[in-house]
Amino acid sequence: KNEVEQSPQNLTAQEGEFITINCSYSVGISALHWLQQHPGGGIVSLFMLSSGKKKHGRLIATINIQEKHSSLHITASHPRDSAVYICAVRRGYGGSQGNLIFGKGTKLSVKP
């Protein structure tokens, strides 16, 4: 079993819909990242969370440490949100514990 599981693997939405992508993990963590991989391949960091909730524009990320679960929400989705969204966890601090473990990603396609 992978240490980081994302669902769904693929998601198609209509423009304007509210979108939720889920991430569950099986290890203790010090932080969780959400990243976006554009169709051209580039990867950018969206959020880094260790507790609670963060919001940036139409993106909201939440984490429940007790349930080992995080969600990424996109409000008022737009075709430019089409990308692969990747969840990654950091187990600890420093050395190999500070390295990230990645989920397989969720491919989002938003239709106009």
Partner 1 sequence: NAGVTQTPKFRILKIGQSMTLQCTQDMNHNYMYWYRQDPGMGLKLIYYSVGAGITDKGEVPNGYNVSRSTTEDFPLRLELAAPSQTSVYFCASSLDTYSNQPQHFGDGTRLSIL
Closest to partner 1 by CB, 104 vs 111, is: 104
Classify the C-alpha dihedral 4-86-67-63 as positive or negative: positive
C-alpha closest to that of 71 among 19, 16, 13 = 19
Q: Which residues 6+ apart lie within 8 Å of 14 measured at CB? A: 77, 110, 111
Q: How far is the CB of 45 from partner 1 (least distance, A)?
A: 3
Identity of the residue, 36 or 77, whose beta carbon is nearer to partner 1 in the bound complex: 36
Instruction: Return the number of the residue (2 or 26) whose C-beta is nearest partner 1.
Output: 2
CB of 67 to partner 1, least distance (A): 21
CB of 39 to partner 1, least distance (A): 12
Residue nearer to partner 1 on the CB measure, 48 or 65: 48
Chain residues that interact with partner 1, rule: CB under 8 A: 2, 4, 30-31, 33, 35, 40-45, 48, 50, 86, 88, 90, 93-105
- DSSP secondary structure letter of residue 97: G
| List of residues 6+ apart from 66 with CB closer than 8 A | none
